[in-house]
Amino acid sequence: MSETPPALEVTDLHVSFPSEAGPVRAVRGVSFSVRPGEVLGIVGESGSGKSVSSLAVLGLLPETADIKGSVKLHGRELLELDDRDMTEIRGKDIAMVFQDPLSALTPVYSVGDQIVEALRIHQDLDKAQARKRAVELLDLVGIPDPARRAGAFPHEFSGGMRQRAMIAMAIANDPEVIIADEPTTALDVTIQAQILDVLKKAQEVTGAAIVMITHDLGVVAGFADRVQVMYAGRPVETGTVDDVYYRPRMPYTIGLLGSIPRLDDGGRHALTPIDGNPPSLVDLPAGCPFAARCPIATDLCRRVEPELTVREGGNHPTACHRSHELVAGGSLDPATIYPVPPLPKAPADSVPREDRTPVLEVDGLVKHFPLLYGAVVKRKVGEVRAVDGISFDIREGETLGLVGESGCGKTTTLLEILDLPSGQSGTVTVFGKDIRGLKGAERKALRRDLQVVFQDPMAALDPRMPVGDILGEPLKTHGWSRDRIAARVPELLGQVGLDPDHVDRFPAEFSGGQRQRISIARALALEPKLVVLDEPVSALDVSIQAGVLNLLDELKARMNLSYLFVAHDLSVVRHIADRIAVMYLGRIVELGSAEAVFGAPSHPYTQALLSAVPLPDPRKERERRRILLTGDLPSPADVPTGCRFRNRCPKFASLDESDRGRCREEDPAPTGLAGDHTAACHFAAAVTVV
Amino acid sequence: MGRYLLRRLINHVALVLIAASLTYFLAAISLNPRANFAGRNPPVAASSVTATLNDYNLNPDTPVVVRFAHWANGVAHGDLGRTVTGGEVNDEFARRVGVSTRLLLIATILGSIGGVLVGAWGAIRQYRTSDRVTTLASFFVLAMPVFVIAVTFKLWAIDINDAVGHKVIEYTGEYDPGLTGTGEILLSRLQHLLLPSLTLIVIQVALYSRYQRSTMLDVLGSDFLRTARAKGLSRRAALMKHGLRTAVLPVVPLLVYNVVLLFTGATFTEKIYGWHGMGEWLVNSISTNDVNAVAAVGMFTAFVVLIAGLLSDVLYAALDPRVRVR
Amino acid sequence: MAVQTPSVQPPSQAPAAPGDQPARRRASGRLRLTAVRFSRNRMALFGLVMLVLLFLMAYVSPLFYKWDYTELDFTAFQKPPSGEHWFGTDQTGSDLFALTARGMQKSLVIGILTGLICTFVAAAVGAGAGYFGGWTDRSLMWVVDLLLVMPSFLIIAVLSPLFQGTTWLVFVVLLAAFSWMITGRVVRSMTLTLKDREFVKAAKYMGVPAPVIIFRHILPSMASMLIIDGTIQVGAAIIGETSLSYFGFGVQSPDVSLGTVIATGTPAAPSFPWLFYFPAGCLVLICLSIAFIGDGLRDALDPNSSGAKARAPRTAKSTSTEGRTS
């Protein structure tokens, strides 16, 4: 394979943008090459320059960008070409799949028309031929009923379908290179598995080289042949997936691998966070850009930036002054360079679950919305059964992970609890009080014990208020005196690991992870008993995520808190939750202790969900067999009869006709398995998938 | 959907009726048609004035509620009443709508197209000289009250006519009634049309180009335009086919809204250039204490606002596939 | 008049996401940043200087200028501008500079008062309707619809005899009453968006009462939009006032506004052009400076608004690129 010349070869690419504060050096010396049929994964956190590099390859950066270096397609230099010549190459030799398929498709043309356009730019086809080919392409990427769906507009497609259409467009002209920029980031995990499958197929059909850009080390582990890790605008480590995942030699890669919550490493333990934040690309300090966060940085690291070099003749270049010490048998052990914080033991852990008092009990909760149609003329055309009868409880000192894909009703459940409304049906009992009968003062008292942390830390903090006022607001609302507030605020900042002197700073002066810590501090201000966490780490980069997760764990143990942790990411939940509730289409399909649900998943949906989560482990990924679900999540406005999962259920497909009849007609109730582990499936049976 | 539309229509018709009634009351109370007969030579007898006013339902001494009832009864039967000089408001109304249409037709078409083109072009060439010049020019135009623009054009026209030596550009009225030949009449009409059209076009181009520029700028940074380029479309083709097409969509309803509003909004242009359209009527009917005409104009204005709103909503839904009603 | 509607602001967003590193900025720093951004906009700076000069002309120059606006110079009828009469004189021998300065005083005061009232009403009604929803929303929006349908020009004109004998403040109230609705709608839709923002929800779930949320979180979040819109409203009000006054429906004698000064000068303008060009020029300068200031404020206060957003390359999201002055 190394004999074939590379299809795309990028050498020493530099990109900078002018800005108010000075030039932003977004890309600083990127080199990579991909051969036909090969997949290169480029991994990095936000701002690492990975997307800018790909746009530079296609010549799609704004005119203000300053680009230097070399980009060669089959030996032909692209950076010297003018826009007219690049037009010939774009979409024909190099195709691109973008991250957000909704905004990446023109809203006013049908999907079919947009593929026809792509075909007719580069091929001499008449309209009918192109149309026929477009339908074939849609069929190839797995869009059902392609001839009819070709006439649909992008907004009428689901996210997964749109991404399939984008891939169809990308392979329309049989390209040499496909650049996929975070192609699955906006998608749910089961859809992500489908799209990765389609991409694989697209590669088989076209034989193209694929450059896969992502922030998710799990996604590329099983998909890529080689990986390049980027940090602060330049590659810091490159190699085969096995080399990079099993023998990382750059502290950043090591830290990144250690900070990812993994589904497969057996239960709860503290993650190893990388302290600090990525540097600003405007004026980078001298030396290694990672030095400030690196546990093994030396004076040399702070003075001289290391080059990406291959040592001892291998095929595994690393940009680190100390990488020779990090090899097997070297003086440093990659596994121990990051200190692992101890995970404190919660007082509640020693008390059996049934002896602890319940803090939240939800029984048969229902929330239906009227379905309105039309932007100008709104009318009710149906009913969205967002939450359709769910029951669970949370005991003192316990974390319940409520997981499910978008649209499953988890956010509605959370808002129903927080809004303290009268509810449509079912009861919500908080600290033993049914929220239905509550009057003003009692509600306010209840709010003191029930706090919330939202997903987006920027949106959750009023940007116009200094941190002191933000943290003081709940205290002020609940009648604390000025002096007590002034004493409490620095204390809170200290608790979440921030500098207590920063009370008069504004949210914008903090990084994402720090802002989420402020959000947590605000939630804790009144010393609540139950904290509702709505995707609290999904807006953060992995290396930051780990620190916040550790903090949550620590606070829970110290303050004997209970968490309702809502998330879509099963790996994150694996690390924080004692109990798991899996939601699908307004129902909890499986509920039980984390060990039971992850170790012996018994509902076919849970099994598919777990099997779709990629592991940052190339060997395991290659060996795993995915349970691929067909189709998209049905609309909660159009819930199937009987079991609501049946038309996507792999188990249903394997049943005989009489058993299928049962699934079609009878809505399965949660049935007890071992202990308090329940699954709402007529044919629940445990399977090991991780 | 039918029921919804109906409810909305009823609500809107109610709004128009309320607006028209309020206008009638205000006009009937504060305007005094009797003043029109004062100082006539020869003087008109008070009794005959009262008789005339009673005849036209304009007598300020009749209780306003009684006058309103009479007026409302007429309106319900499609009769808008009599003008202060005794003509039918209906006839005057029809004539003036015709005049306004003849004035606005060419001006709005050219103004709309011009506005969209100038705005889109400015956005594409953002911060280059041409964008700066058009932006500055539109700021200038929008900072000028219409009457300043109209009077300035008129003064320029007078200067040009003086320089040439005869009347090339007309600035009063719709046509020259003394002419006979078809060609001459047509030419005269065009000469008369030039200045008011220019005024309206300049204002519309300035306004619409601001809207178009800002929607186009939004589209310029969009992901789908990048996709179109990544497919292999040239910058120009991508801008025209994907960019402009998408950026025009939100502007069209707005444009239609403003164009429809011009029916009573071209007040200054019509008044200053002596076109006897709806806009001019608005000013003249008040000056002449013509209560029924004022009420008619008020009703028409409310109606026009409504139609403009409905039309732009329907267009918005019809043009954009994202909100298209199936 | 319809074409002069104030431009509608896109809902403002959260301030630009700064780099991932903690930037060192303080409250005063934010103000300074706004000032720096504003002063980098040459048009805005020009507008500010111009407006200050115009204010000085209106309020300070009468203190030392030789002629009072009520004085007549019987030795100079319709004289062109000179050292004696800076803007010339009219047919009665009044000094045009003194008249213009006096007219500007009134026009500026009316514009600013109207802008203030209008912004206040829009903020109160819009935020209330948006936050409380339900019947509050429906009834307030019905009032907005009604006022939009009402022929505002007509009604103010019809009522103009009413404030002839009393005070021009009635006129201000009427002008404001018919110009807050669009802004009110914008405020309402922004409130709807803000209501779902997490920091507002967080306050709600903390138990903070609704009025406190509106004044502590919601209105401050749209302060920049309100400031910008208020500025534009001042310009629109001045245009509205002068237009009405031009036709005699606005400021009534003995009060003098720019509109009445221009109206008096227009008939003689073909022969004595200064009678029109000087006061009209001052009017245009006022509106233009206000428009420039509004535009500069938008860039400075709301760097994420559509214009500034499109300027920054989407790929380098940590910083926005070059300033306006490039």
Residue pLDDT, tens place only, C127-137: 999 999 889 99
Q: Decide if A588 touches C, using CB distance below 8 A.
A: no
- Residue A395's DSSP bridge partners are A358
Please report residues of A whose CB lies closer than 8 A to that of C317. Answer: 47
CA distance B185 to chain C (A): 27
Cα–Cα distance, B105 to B109 (Å, whole number):
6
Report residue A378's pLDDT band, with 50, 70 and 90 as the boundaries.
Answer: low
Please list, in sequence order, all residues whose beta carbon lies within 8 angstroms of the beta carbon of residue A656, skipping any fewer than 6 positions away: none
% of residues, chain B, pLDDT over 90:
35
Q: Decide if B107 touches A, using CB distance below 8 A.
A: no
> A562-567 and A530-534 as β-strands: parallel, antiparallel, unpaired?
parallel
Q: What's the topology of domain A32-224?
A: Rossmann fold (3.40.50)
Cα–Cα distance, A498 to A484 (Å, whole number):
20
Judged against a pLDDT cut of 60, whether residue C4 lies above it is answered with no
Judged against a pLDDT cut of 80, whether residue B2 lies above it is answered with no
**Residue B323 pLDDT:** 67
- What DSSP letter does each residue of A305-341 carry, written as one string? PPP-B--TT-S--B--TTGGGSSTTSSS-TTTSSPPP
Q: Decide if C287 touches B, using CB distance below 8 A.
A: yes
% of residues, chain A, pLDDT over 70:
97
Q: Do A108 and B249 touch (CB under 8 A)?
A: yes
Q: What backbone phi and psi angles, to 5 degrees, belong to B296?
A: -65, -45
Residue pLDDT, tens place only, A631-655: 888 888 888 888 999 888 988 888 8
Residue pLDDT, tens place only, B285-317: 988 889 999 999 989 988 888 888 888 888 887
- Parse chain B into domains and list their residue ranges: 96-323
What are the Cα distances from residue B190, in Å, to A65, A511, B186?
52, 66, 6
Judged against a pLDDT cut of 90, whether residue A262 lies above it is answered with no
**Residue C71 pLDDT:** 81
Average pLDDT over residues A11-25: 87
> A209-214 and A39-43 as β-strands: parallel, antiparallel, unpaired?
parallel
End-to-end Cα, chain C, rounded Å: 36
Across chain C, mean pLDDT equals: 79
Of B38 and B93, the structure prediction assigns the larger pLDDT to: B93
**Residue A266 pLDDT:** 66
Of B173 and A121, the structure prediction assigns the larger pLDDT to: A121
Cα–Cα distance, C30 to C219 (Å, whole number):
18
Q: In what order do the strands lie in the sheet with A8-17?
A: A24-34, A8-17, A66-73, A76-77
Q: What is the token pair recorded at A418?
A: 């927080």
C27, part of any domain: no
CATH of the domain at C275: 1.10.3720.10
**Residue A423 pLDDT:** 63
Q: Which residue of C43, C154, C252 is the best one to mutate when testing the B interface, meaning the one whose CB has the most B CBs within 10 A?
A: C154
Q: What backbone phi and psi angles, to 5 degrees, belong to A461?
A: -115, 130
> A66-73 and A76-77 as β-strands: parallel, antiparallel, unpaired?
antiparallel
- Which among B103, B86, B112 is positioned nearest to B268, based on CA atoms? B103
The CB density around residue B2, as the number of other CB atoms within 10 Å, is: 8
Q: Which residue of B7, B127, B224 is the best one to mutate when testing the A interface, meaning the one whose CB has the most A CBs within 10 A?
A: B224
Average pLDDT over residues C159-182: 83
Nearest CA in chain B to C322: B127
Cα–Cα distance, A422 to A424 (Å, whole number):
7
Judged against a pLDDT cut of 70, whether residue C58 lies above it is answered with yes
Q: Which residue of B225, B227, B239, B315 is the best one to mutate when testing the A interface, meaning the one whose CB has the most A CBs within 10 A?
A: B227
**Residue A669 pLDDT:** 87
For B302, which of C150, C280, C284 is closest by C-beta distance? Answer: C150
C165, part of any domain: yes
For C149, which of B151, B271, B305 is closest by C-beta distance? Answer: B305
> A8-17 and A24-34 as β-strands: parallel, antiparallel, unpaired?
antiparallel
- What DSSP letter does each residue of B101-151 carry, written as one string? HHHHHHHHHHHHHHHHHHHHHHHHTTTSHHHHHHHHHHHHHHHS-HHHHHH
Cα–Cα distance, A148 to B268 (Å, whole number):
54
- Which among A213, A293, A285, A217 is positioned nearest to A248, based on CA atoms? A217
Q: Do C313 and A474 touch (CB under 8 A)?
A: no
Cβ contact B204:B108 at 8 Å: yes
Average pLDDT over residues A428-449: 84
Average pLDDT over residues B154-162: 91
Please report residues of A whose CB lies closer than 8 A to that of C14. Answer: 458-459, 463
Asked which of A128-137, A346-355, A356-365 is least confident by mean pLDDT, the reply is A346-355
Report residue A272's pLDDT band, with 50, 70 and 90 as the boundaries.
Answer: confident
Cα–Cα distance, C262 to C245 (Å, whole number):
9
Q: What is the token pair recorded at A345?
A: 């033991």
Judged against a pLDDT cut of 90, whether residue B198 lies above it is answered with yes
Of A309 and B214, the structure prediction assigns the larger pLDDT to: B214
Across chain A, mean pLDDT equals: 87
CA angle, residues B194, B200, B201, in degrees to nearest 5 = 80
**Residue C303 pLDDT:** 60
Cβ contact B271:B280 at 8 Å: yes
What H or E segment, with its residue span, contains residue A403? strand A399-403
Please report residues of B whose CB lies closer than 8 A to that of A98. Answer: 223, 226-227, 230
Cα–Cα distance, A77 to A9 (Å, whole number):
9
Q: Which residue of A24, A28, A420, A510 is the best one to mutate when testing the C interface, meaning the one whose CB has the most C CBs within 10 A?
A: A24
What interface predicted TM-score (ipTM) does this complex get? 0.85
Judged against a pLDDT cut of 80, whether residue C323 lies above it is answered with no
Placement of tokens 């020869």 in the chain: B42
Please list, in sequence order, all residues whose beta carbon lies within 8 angstroms of the beta carbon of residue A445, skipping any fewer than 6 positions away: none
Neighbours, chain B (3 or more CB pairs < 8 A): A, C
Q: What CATH code would you report for B96-323?
A: 1.10.3720.10
**Residue A539 pLDDT:** 82
Q: In what order do the strands lie in the sheet with A425-430?
A: A379-395, A358-373, A425-430, A433-434
**Residue A13 pLDDT:** 94
**Residue B94 pLDDT:** 93
Cis peptide preceding B42, ω within 30 of 0: yes
**Residue A45 pLDDT:** 84
- Residue C72's DSSP bridge partners are C94
Average pLDDT over residues B194-216: 92
Angle between helices C258-265 and C223-246 (to 10 degrees): 30
Indicate the number of domains in chain C. 1
Judged against a pLDDT cut of 90, whether residue C122 lies above it is answered with yes
Q: Give the range of the structural domain holding residue C207, as residue numbers without chain letter.
A: 70-294
Cα–Cα distance, C242 to C259 (Å, whole number):
4
Report residue C8's pLDDT band, with 50, 70 and 90 as the boundaries.
Answer: very low
Of B231 and A310, the structure prediction assigns the larger pLDDT to: B231
Please report residues of C whose CB lies closer than 8 A to that of A62. Answer: 313, 315
Which residue type does A598 have? F
C50, part of any domain: no
Return the SS3 of A260: coil
Q: Do A474 and C206 touch (CB under 8 A)?
A: yes
Cβ contact A682:A649 at 8 Å: no
**Radius of gyration of the CA atoms of chain C, in A:** 23
C320, part of any domain: no
Q: What backbone phi and psi angles, to 5 degrees, belong to B308?
A: -60, -45
Judged against a pLDDT cut of 50, whether residue B112 lies above it is answered with yes
Cα–Cα distance, B243 to B225 (Å, whole number):
6
Q: What is the largest CA-CA distance in chain A?
A: 78
Please list, in sequence order, all residues whose beta carbon lies within 8 angstroms of the beta carbon of residue C159, skipping any fewer than 6 positions away: B26, B30, C174
Please report residues of A whose CB lies closer than 8 A to that of B325. Answer: 374, 376-377
C89, part of any domain: yes
Average pLDDT over residues B200-224: 90
Average pLDDT over residues B122-128: 86
Return the SS3 of A430: strand
Average pLDDT over residues C267-292: 90
CA distance C191 to chain A (A): 14
**Residue C3 pLDDT:** 34
